[in-house]
Amino acid sequence: MAAPNSPPSLPLFPLPHPLVLFPSSRITVPVSKDSGRALISLIQDSPGQPLIAAVPILQPPPDGTKAGAIIQDAAGGGTVLNEWGCAAQVVRLVRPSALQPAQPYLLTLEGVTRIRLEPPLPSVESLDAVDFTFHPVVYPATRGLPLREHVESFKTAGVRLLDRMSKDVSQGNLTGKKEVYRRLRDTLEDVSDNRASMFADSLVGLIDGEFADKLDFLAAVDPSTRLQKAATIFTKQASISEVSSKISAAVHDSLSKQQKEYFLRQQLIAIQRELNALHRNSVGNGKRSGSASSSEDGGRSELDDDDTNEAEDMADIRRKIEAMEVGSEERKTGVREWRRLKRIPQGSVEHGVIRNYLEHLTELPWSSSTTTSQSLETLKDRAFLRKARAQLDNDHYGLDKVKRRLIEYLAVVRLKATTAALQQAEHDAKSLPSVALVKKGDVDVPVTTPPPPKSIARKTGKKVANKGPILLFVGPPGVGKTSLGLSIAHALDRPFQRISLGGVRDEAEIRGHRRTYVASGPGLIVQALRRAGRPDFVCLLDEIDKVGGGRGGVHGDPGAALLEVLDPEQNGAFNDHYINVPVDLSQVLFICTSNSLDTISAPLLDRCEIIQLSGYTHAEKIHIARHFLLPKQLTANGLTPSHITLTSDALMCIATRYTREAGVRSLERAIGAVVRFKAVEWADCMDSKEDNKNIQGKTGKEVAIVSKEYKPEVREEDLEAILGIARWEEDERDREERRGVVYGLVVMGQGEGGILPVETIAVPGSGGLKLTGSLGEVIRESAEIALSWVKRHAYALCVTSLPSQDPLKIPDPIDVHLHLPAGGQRKDGPSAGIAMVCALVSLLTGATVPPNIAMTGEVTLRGRVTPVGGIKEKVLGAHRASIKKIILPAGNRKDVEHDVPREVKEQMEFIFVSTLQEALSAAFGPDGLEWRRAGGLQVESRL
């Protein structure tokens, strides 16, 4: 739209940057006094209301600006003006007041129509002295009506922007502006198509858009183009307003929460301080003046949580980080997490997570920054091995082979440590500067040789890792596996940490939980390292055979995680998921315990050196009970050695008839029961004496009170009243000579040896074999082999009258039922073959085997007896069961000579056999069975 009177030239008025005037909009700008006077003269000289050209000024154009976008002075000087402007009417000109003459004039302009300046533009040297020089202008004509879709998009964008501005005003509680925006929205929705472009000028002038977008919109002459650019500006401004509102709201909420939490915490600290002061005053009034129990700090408690304690804790963490070796991985991680901690507000959850991590990280004894001089001094002691032997002898009785192996182990540890210390000392001596005398002429001049570079020194000065074997103590419960590990720690003067692996089914229990999980923490290995406080402690991995078999499930395999821990080639950089920094475990002495080897994986077993602890003999148990267990129970129950005297017969009765185990735990419990019984008797006796004294003191006369006299001696006949009926007495009575019953030797699930009867009976049937007792596949095959051998030699044993007859079908068909008692226990293995043969021979011939004879051994179809394992456990179990004669394979003679204690061999008779004929002769006696000399045709299968 053009002005009614459109003069070809208008007085030029540059608008200060970044102001832009649009048609149908108003603007107020300050002008200088000279410019104000010139404008007054212009108004007075004009016949009507004059028009002026309000043209925006530009900053110096950047490189690559399109030609024609801006027009400069022909001379290249002055202020850059925009090509497009707006013809405006002067609405108001306000002069400065007399009280403030230095204030500028205020000029209010109202846009009328778009104009374009004719080139070349005059130079505008200063905005403080605008003289309103006339300059030719062009009034562009509007071409047609805008398209309908452009009008709709303009209205949609405008409504969205006005709604957004109304919401922003609502947050600021400006009700007047909100009402203005609501009216503008209603007007926008009702505006016609021919007036839409004019309304667009008003809205664009109203919003606070970007300067470049406004200049682009000012140059739009076509109504459709103008509406498109207006819609673009509105959409952009609405998006910016939405994002800004979200950011402002988030920042406001965060600041409000932090400020509120800080305020509440300060109030809580103040309240606690007042309560503590009140409590101290009340306590101080109740006590006598000068009480020695009053503390120097005015009664403050270490549980008081204040800013001082918090600052001390943070300072302690910082000191530990600074004490780490420069350049080490743990120091880099600690510094990085410390910087994160300082940036996070104290009340946030992430602050607690990072601080907990730093506490774990700084409390670990890192090998790069921790010295082990105390352990080295212990190993350098010349009496180290002698003290180690004394320590083992004081803690354990017997176990001579185990002690000898442990002494070898400790000697190797000592030699490796001392050798490493000598190498380190030589390296340190080389790293120091040396001074030598060099002869120059007739004078000796000292010359100093510099030390090697630090990088070379660091490479040659590495610590020697402990690559010794991982000891694995295998044996039944109660034989002293755990206490042996403790004795090693005492001998080395190192901290001892025990990790129970029983029931551990999650790999994270070993490697730690990752920090992304809630309540995450390091694994058991790193926790033990933290508690020990030294990188060279003794770590006992207890019950390693009871680690839950994850086998790659959702929780992983903890047994596989132990492979890295127990491998000397890998544990120098153990990776804990929580710490996430390589942890050096090469200086840790790992000792494992187990009851059985069956459930331990082969790779894990390959990393360990197995040391068998089979159990104790009766003599060893008596010695342990008298010198270790009884004094321990006396101390635990408040008695002295003079209060109880256990006879040797009583101890033997407890060890043989009330307990029958490889270890001494049940024996200790039985002795504890005896001590507690005598403690009650002693207490009753003392109470009765006190009552007698009190009555005598009141009456002055002697009063006879019947009280039970205390007897400190405990004999064998007293045990039944204390411990009850003997557990193994009935078993001893049942062991009598019976047809078809033979006693074999077994190793039970916990590694304990014992005896197991093999029972057979004949029932009517068709010549079959029935097996019961929860038997495995191997032991079933042994029973079938035994029956086949007996059938083949039935004629030679005078069971049948002809070699071709089946002893189970002639004269009457029968079935043989073979049973092994204790059906609740799974039984398997080939070592019961010789006992099954003897039981079947006893059943068919009627001969019996004495109950004090037990046997073990595997048999073949050819009648050979082959060696088996677990001889020591079986022999000790038979000794505990009062067996006097044992039949063993000839191949196990070396096991008896090397493993079985001498006192056991002196009390028992061992017969070694190579064939079943020899075994039958030893079991039934030389004349116990009748043999035919001509046994018929012997047919054997040979490979």
Which are the catalytic amino acids? 831, 874
Distance CA 638, CA 869 (A): 45
Sign of CA dihedral 800, 803, 807, 812: negative
Residues 6+ apart with CB under 8 A from 313: none
Q: Produce one character per residue of 585-603: b if its CB has 16 or more CB atoms within 10 Å, e if not.
A: bbbbbbbbbbbbeeebeee
- Sequence-ordered list of residues with C-beta below 8 angstroms from that of 733, at least 6 positions apart, any chain: none
DSSP for 152-164, please give it: HHHHHHHHHHHHH
For residue 465, which amino acid is it?
A
Rounded CA-CA distance 623/638 in Å is 22
Taking the C-alpha atoms of residue 334 and residue 243, their distance in angstroms, rounded to an integer, is: 37
Structure tokens at 658: 């009330």
Mind giving me the DSSP string for 274-314? HHHHHHHHHHHHHSPTT-TTS-TTSS--TT---HHHHHHHH
* DSSP secondary structure letters along 401-444: HHHHHHHHHHHHHHHHHHHHHHHHHHHHHHHS-EEEEEEETTEE
Angle at 601 between CA 598 and CA 607, to 5 degrees: 110
Distance from the first to the final alpha carbon of the chain: 120
- The structure tokens 């003599």 sit at 619
127: tokens are 């905005």
- Residues 6 or more apart in contact with residue 500 via CB below 8 angstroms: 542, 543
- As a whole number of angstroms, the distance between CA 561 and CA 582 comes to 15
Helix axes 329-343, 307-323, angle to 10 degrees: 150
Indicate left, alpha or beta for 132 from its phi (over 0: left) and psi (-120 to 50: alpha). Answer: left
Tokens of 136: 């030719």
Judge if the upstream peptide bond of residue 120 is cis by omega within 30 degrees of 0: yes
Rounded Cα gap, residues 595 and 599, in angstroms:
10
Which amino acid does the sequence have at 219? A
Alpha helices in 775-930 (DSSP H): 777-792, 833-845, 871-880, 893-899, 902-907, 916-924
Report the residue count for the chain: 943
Closest CA to 883 of 773, 771, 758, 744: 744
- DSSP 3-state of 31: strand
Give yes or no for a contact between 927 and 795, defined as CB atoms under 8 angstroms apart: no
Residue 914: φ, ψ to 5°: -115, -20
Strands 538-542 and 589-594 turn out to be parallel
Over the range 200-231, which residues count as b (16 or more CB within 10 Å of their CB) and which as e? bbbbbbbbebeeebbbebbbbeebbebbbbbb
Give me the helices (H) in 646-776, please.
Answer: 648-653, 665-699, 719-723, 729-734
The C-alpha angle with vertex 314 and arms to 308 and 317, in degrees rounded to 5, equals 140
Six-digit token string for 840: 């079947």
User: In a 10 Å sphere around its CB, with 0-12 CB exposed, 13-18 middle and 19+ buried, how is residue 297 labelled?
Assistant: exposed
Q: Which residues share a beta bridge with 9?
A: 136
